[in-house]
Amino acid sequence: MILQAIQVAVLFGLGLFFVSVPVLGQIALVLGGIGLVWLVLVYVFSYLPTAKHNYSAARTPTLVFAILSILTIGLLSGFLYIVAFSELGDPRTKGYRTEPWRAPTPIRAESKICPICGRSNPLSSLFCQTCGIRLG
């Protein structure tokens, strides 16, 4: 997104610099305006959902932005969007890892309950079978 913001700033700068040249300045200003609209669309549909951890909502717009960037000769930004698209589908990039769900161990009357993980261990156990803490 920063790369595209720089491109927009350069286009607006060129447009203002060449404003005296009838066609060249107007083309640069129009392209800068299109780039500004593009930045707003990327921010709203790709960046904001990602910032709110709504990765599934950001996935499709990011792929669309990648394809459109590559088609409009924005190869570097298109490549970066493809990388972002692949990372949005990867559960490891969500910023957290979850342990797989396990059914709770039934509590038996003749058992020691682990104070850390809550597992029911046989009375003869010196250590918890799940977390390894010493049982009292």
From 4, 10, 36, 11, select the one nearest 26 (Cα to Cα). 11
Nearest to 46 by CA among 6, 104, 4: 4
- pLDDT at position 99 is 57
The rounded distance, in Å, linking the Cα atoms of 47 and 52 is 9
d(CA 43, CA 61): 10
- Please report, in tens digits, the pLDDT of each residue of the chain (136 residues total): 666 677 667 766 777 777 777 777 777 777 777 777 878 888 888 888 888 878 778 888 888 888 887 887 677 777 777 887 777 776 555 554 445 666 666 655 678 888 888 888 888 888 988 888 888 7
Question: Model's pTM, two decimal places?
Answer: 0.52
